Amino acid sequence: MINTNLNSLQAHQTLMDINANNVANVNTEDFKATNAHIVDRLEISADTSQSGTDLTKELTDQIVIEDGFKAQIPAIKTQDEMTKTLLDIKA
C-alpha cells in the first residue's frame, strides 16, 4: 500500500516540476506550456491552444499539487507506525 502513496508523491513531484518550468518560461517567446494532470495515471501533453504560460492557472495548480503532497504524508506515517508496531510485537 505504501507503494501507491509513493507513486502519488512522484506524480505530484513531476507536476510541480512541469509547473515550475512553465512559470520559469513565462516571458519566453513562442513557449508552449506543458499541461499535466492525474486521472488514473500521470498524463502530460503540450498545450498548443495558447502561446506562453497562464500564470493564473499555474499558481492555482500549485495549491492543488501542495494538497496532493499533504494528503499522502499522513498515510505514509500511519503505515510506518503500523510496521514499527508489528516489528515491536514480533521482537
Per-residue pLDDT tens over the stretch 40-70 = 776 776 555 566 788 888 999 999 999 988 9
Of the candidates 21, 71, 67, the one whose C-alpha atom is nearest the C-alpha of residue 44 is 21
Q: What is the grid cell recorded at 61? A: 495548480
CA-derived radius of gyration, the chain: 18
Q: Which residues pair with 52 in a beta bridge?
A: 32
Its sign, for the CA torsion 23, 72, 45, 50, is negative
Q: In the prediction, which pLDDT does 67 show? A: 92
**Structural domain span for residue 75:** 2-90
Instruction: Supply φ then ψ for residue 48, to 5 degrees.
Output: -90, 5
pTM value is: 0.75
Residue with cell 506524480: 11
Query: Which whole-number Å values give the CA distances from 87 to 2, 67, 81, in the listed order?
Result: 17, 31, 10
Q: How many domains does the chain have?
A: 1
